[in-house]
Chains A and B, each alone.
Chain A
Amino acid sequence: MSFPWAKQYTPSHPFMQWMDEKLPIPRLVYNAVGGGYEVPRNLNYFWNFGFLAGLCLVLQIVTGVIMAMHYAANTAVAFDTIEQTMRDVNWGWLMRYAHANGASAFFVVIYIHIFRGFFYGSYKAPREMVWLLGVVIFLLMMATAFMGYVLPWGQMSFWGAKVITGLFSAIPFIGEPLQQWLLGGFAPDNAALNRFFSLHFLLPFVILGVVILHIWALHIPGSSNPTGVEVKSESDTVPFYPYYVAKDGWAIGAFAILFCAAVFFFPNYLGHPDNYIPANPMSTPAHIVPEWYFWPFYAILRAFTQDFLFIPAKLMGVLAMFGAIIVWFFLPWLDKSPVRSGAYRPLYRKFFWILVLDMLVLFKCGGAPAAEPYVMISQLAALYYFAHFLIIIPIVSAIEKPDPLPFSITEAVLGADEEAKLAPAAAPEA
């Protein structure tokens, strides 16, 4: 779908006309990210992060495919092949550092993208499907990143794999056999490393497929915007090309500067030193921690220290860790407020910022050793996390009195007087 005033693709060159008849890919591109896609004019910089996330995915696939050319998924040599890539492959160190830091950059971007969605109510009708597919992408990213971290077969690779696959053993009755089946053994070993490599190569392309669906689903209602008021007339929108191509273009530059500063000057800052020690099943590291982007969820996992209603603490932790993300699937139906944007929801806005703070506390606790006072702090923080989504949001959306909304995007941008001059004809309702 597109708005009635959107420009139509009209190829002038005979070859492009021929192409448009046989396989209209140029038309698809034109309507998806070209002059044919009308976008609200008032998007702020938080709306650049979707594009940046796509860029990160491409970066990860390109560097990853090159890394795979020099890697061997065998426990005897995996660690050494990575080191050889770093030392003897031309620009191998760059591919490796770009890939490792690229995963971090991807998660930074995606967390901002998700929290943009929380604040501006991007998950609400008519964009529920965009949101649901986004959560699927996030889950796939987590699986991909986890398996990728195992591949260098360092100490944290091995022990991280052991801890995370050990979670499956918490499932009643089928847990132990399930864990052994997933690993192809009793502990992570060659069988596990091989299948992790295979899946780590496959899943990014699955992500790519879901990203295409995510963008497709987005293009049906069109992009949301910071006021949360839907597009009403032509003056509300600008064509994606050239307006947002230019804006995304310079945002890519700013992102690339930060990313390259990390890759070239602090490439190991976000990594764990123990992963430069080859995996040793006989020697357990003092503190087993996952990569930083899992810390909030790792803190939730470890927060459950007591059995509850005959449910073992470990199983509670596993349920809660996955539940913490599964709950996002229900968000469009938990938040009943008809107002989308947090900018017009005074009460919701306060809880949103508490959630941001809460996630940072969980992040800190997840990276810390499992000792007091971190466990107690993470218990309180996890308590707020679940209360926020399952109790506070439904209640707030019922009792809150939102601020008055602007009539239209144009009014929000130009003021009511200018808008009246612009739109003599009645705006068509979407």
Chain B
Amino acid sequence: MARILSILVGLFFTVALAWSFGVGFYTWATEPPAPTAEHEFHIKPEEFHFASDGPFGKFDRQQLQRGFQVYKEVCSVCHALRHVAFRDLAALGYNEAEVKAIAKGFQVPVYNPATGEVATREGAATDYFPPVVYGGQGSPPDLSLIAKAREEGPQYVRSLLNGYRDQPAELLKQFPDSKTPDGLHYNPYFANLNLAMPPPLTADGQVTYSDGTKATKEQMATDVAAFLIWTAEPKLEKRKQTGWAVLGFLLFATVLGYMSYRNIWAGKKH
């Protein structure tokens, strides 16, 4: 009885699924899904190895400072960095006076509860990077976590920044309706191909590095991507170093555990 009931319930679900499958297969066979421009022309970020990648990866502090400079002089016009405090920049190798000087260069909002007005004052080391008031098209995302908030984030940032190009003729031939709208910019690394952000890195030497590194467009994109790995995961180095100590201990303890297991079970067939 239970067996018959169970088979009946089983048939209910399997027939319903077979029906769904049949209808789906018929639709798929008679009207195959049309390809989309996003599907055909989107490309994955270019592969790149950052100094902080891999289990032994460490930040290159010179590079982080260069990346911070690019952020400050280029990106920070539109993009905020709200999870990062100025005091955190000490981890990039700046001393206390330098951190204070950087903070002073930013104006942070102060809300006056008596008047309801928002004034600004010079930043202090304890302040966080201030919000950015942006009036243009699109909505520039906060960059603090961008390296973790995108698939292959650091490589994505690096590729996207110099990924701008003219829309390929092939794309327009296949998808005549997919012309990049006015005010947007074609960039195949961006998920839907058209991006509101204009090309931020326009020429070699756009920033002047104090350490003598030549500021090519590629160099600037790489440096700022490295900086954004740090903003997203400031504890990365400590995490990896701790990891090796933990694994070393566990390996030792597990070998001891295995030996005591062999010892206790010795002579006991199982």
Name A residues whose Cβ lies closer than 8 Å to a Cβ of B: 41-43, 80, 83, 86-87, 93-94, 97, 238, 242-243, 246-247, 249-250, 252-254, 256-257, 260-261, 263-265, 267-268, 273-274, 276-277, 286, 303-306, 308-309, 311, 313, 316, 320, 323, 330, 333-334, 336, 371-373, 375-376, 379-380, 382-383, 386-387, 389-391, 394-395, 398, 413-414
- Does chain A have a CB within 8 A of B90? no
Q: How far is the CA of A265 from the CA of B52 in the complex (A)?
A: 11
In contact, B25 and A376 (Cβ under 8 angstroms): yes
Q: A93-B235, A265-B55 are in contact. Are A306 and B251 (CB under 8 A)?
A: no
**A-chain residues with CB within 8 Å of residue B264 when the two chains form the complex:** 242-243, 246
Q: Which of B107-115, B170-178, B200-208, B254-262 contacts A (4 or more CB under 8 A)?
A: B254-262
Docked CA distance A428–B176 (Å): 84
Q: Which of B3-62 contact A (CB under 8 A)?
A: 3, 6-7, 9-11, 13-21, 23-25, 28, 33, 55
Also in contact, A265 and B17, with CB within 8 A (given A86-B235, A246-B260, A273-B151): no
Selected contact of A260 from candidates B3, B243, B261, CB within 8 Å: B243
CB pair A87–B247 under 8 Å, yes or no, is: no
Chain-A contact segment, one of B129-137, B141-149, B179-187, B218-226: B141-149
State the 8 A-B residue pairs at the shortest beta-carbon distance, nearest first: A264-B243, A390-B10, A253-B254, A250-B257, A276-B149, A379-B21, A386-B13, A308-B16
Contacts of A256 in B (CB 8 A): 250, 254
* Residues in A whose Cβ lies below 8 Å from that of B247: 257, 260-261, 264
Contact A273–B148 (Cβ < 8 Å): yes
Expressed in whole angstroms, the Cα–Cα distance for A276 and B268 within the complex equals 52
Q: Other CB < 8 Å A-B pairs besides A83-B145, A264-B247, A308-B15, 6 of them? A: A246-B261, A247-B261, A257-B251, A273-B149, A323-B13, A390-B10
> Nearest chain-B residue to A323 (Cβ)?
B13
B239 within 8 A of A: yes
Chain B residues whose C-beta falls within 8 Å of the C-beta of A276 in the assembled complex: 145, 148-149, 232
Which of A311, A336, A372, A382 is the one whose CB lies under 8 Å from B33? A372
> A286-B191, A391-B11 given as contacts; is B260 within 8 A of A249 (CB)?
yes
Write out the residue numbers on chain B whose beta carbons fall within 8 Å of the beta carbon of A389.
10
Shortest Cβ distance from residue A287 to the other chain B in the assembled complex, whole angstroms: 11
B138 → chain A closest CB, angstroms: 12
Residues of A within 8 A of B2 (CB): 333-334, 394
Count the B residues whose beta carbon is within 8 Å of the partner chain — how many? 56
- In the bound complex, do residue A372 and residue B17 qualify as a contact, i.e. CB atoms below 8 Å apart? no
Taking CB atoms, residues of chain A closer than 8 Å to B261 are 246-247, 249-250
Q: Which residue from B14, B18, B24 sits with its C-beta under 8 Å from A375?
A: B24
The residues of A that contact B33 with a CB separation of less than 8 Å are 371-372
A334 and B6 form a contact (CB under 8 A): yes
Say yes or no: B149 contacts A274, CB within 8 Å: yes
Residues of B within 8 A of A94 (CB): 239, 242
Cβ-closest chain A residue relative to B88: A87
Q: A93-B235, A249-B257 are in contact. Are A379 and B243 (CB under 8 A)?
A: no
Q: Is B165 interfacial (CB 8 A cutoff)?
A: no
Q: Name B260's closest neighbour in chain A (CB-CB).
A: A246
Distance, CA A157 to CA B25, complexed state (A): 33
Contacts A87-B234, A254-B254, A375-B24; is A394 near B243 (CB within 8 Å)?
Answer: no
Expressed in whole angstroms, the minimum distance between the Cβ of B186 and any Cβ of chain A is 19
Asked whether, in the complex, the Cβ of B21 is within 8 Å of the Cβ of A380, the reply is: yes
User: In the assembled complex, how far is the CB of residue B230 from the closest CB belonging to chain A, in whole angstroms?
Assistant: 11
Say whether, besides A87-B234, A277-B141, A320 and B239 are in contact (CB < 8 Å).
no
Q: Per a CB cutoff under 8 Å, which of B3, B144, B244, B265 touches A394?
A: B3
Which A residues are CB-close (under 8 A) to B17? 303-304, 379-380, 382-383, 386
Query: Is B121 engaged at the interface, CB distance under 8 Å to the other chain?
Result: no
Is the Cβ of A390 less than 8 Å from the Cβ of B13? Answer: yes
Contacts of A249 in B (CB 8 A): 257, 260-261
Known pairs A276-B149, A372-B28, A383-B21; A330 contacts B235 (CB<8 A): no
Q: How far is the CA of A209 from the CA of B229 in the complex (A)?
A: 42
Query: Who on chain B is nearest to A43 by CB?
Result: B270
Query: Cβ of A413 and Cβ of B269 under 8 Å apart?
Result: yes
